[in-house]
Chains A and B, each alone.
Chain A
Amino acid sequence: GENVEQHPSTLSVQEGDSAVIKCTYSDSASNYFPWYKQELGKRPQLIIDIRSNVGEKKDQRIAVTLNKTAKHFSLHITETQPEDSAVYFCAAIRTNNDMRFGAGTRLTVKP
């Protein structure tokens, strides 16, 4: 089955700096890669996703890159703000619609 690894497990940055979270997956059949943000005590929220036919996608301060050959994808947050502090999960999904998550990255943005 699919195995998703996520690094780092914790990340602390200064407000205004960039943050990068990296994930690798094992199943070459995976073709959809969403990222979820979970604030303390709240539900995971989809923040951005990327499909296997593109290499990069950007939405304001958030961008995701995908390298299918190497089977890794990354989340980039620029100009971080304190409200970006949360746990971020990457995930990989195959065509049968089953999603496997990474272990999560706890991001802390210091004001």
Chain B
Amino acid sequence: EAGVTQFPSHSVIEKGQTVTLRCDPISGHDNLYWYRRVMGKEIKFLLHFVKESKQDESGMPNNRFLAERTGGTYSTLKVQPAELEDSGVYFCASSQGTSGRTGQYFGPGTRLTVT
């Protein structure tokens, strides 16, 4: 079974540019999450999809971040325009359960550097 995949693995962009990150969850997993880890700090929740619907987007830092999951399969996270403080590793995770009491499987992450 393929795990969670993310693309790209690394992205270096200039302040003000746009970047789109992609996540492909494990097939059949309805729940998809985005997290961000800034160097040396905790993994911070951004948002949660259940199929194509946003269940909780309380962690999104501001309106420069837009997440979509059309069709309930893969998801994209767009940052526009990027700022220096957006640098970090963006993780995607997916899970199968609906009760909230199951493990989440992480992708390898996308390391975003904004210069």
Chain A residues in contact with chain B, CB under 8 A?
A: 1, 4, 6, 31-32, 34, 36, 42-46, 49, 51, 89, 93-104
A contact residues around B33 at 8 Å (CB): 99
Q: Is the CB of B103 within 8 A of A103?
A: no
Q: Which residues of A contact B106 (CB under 8 A)?
A: 36, 43-45
B residues adjacent to A (C-beta < 8 A): 4, 31, 33, 35, 41-45, 48, 50, 55-56, 58, 91, 95, 97-109
Known interface pairs A89-B43, A101-B43. Does A96 touch B56 (Cβ–Cβ under 8 Å)? yes
Whether A44 contacts B101 by the Cβ 8 Å rule is no
A contact residues around B107 at 8 Å (CB) = 43
Determine the chain A residues whose CB is within 8 A of the CB of B98 once the complex forms.
Answer: 97
Q: Closest 7 interchain pairs by CB? A: A97-B100, A103-B42, A32-B101, A101-B43, A46-B103, A43-B106, A95-B100
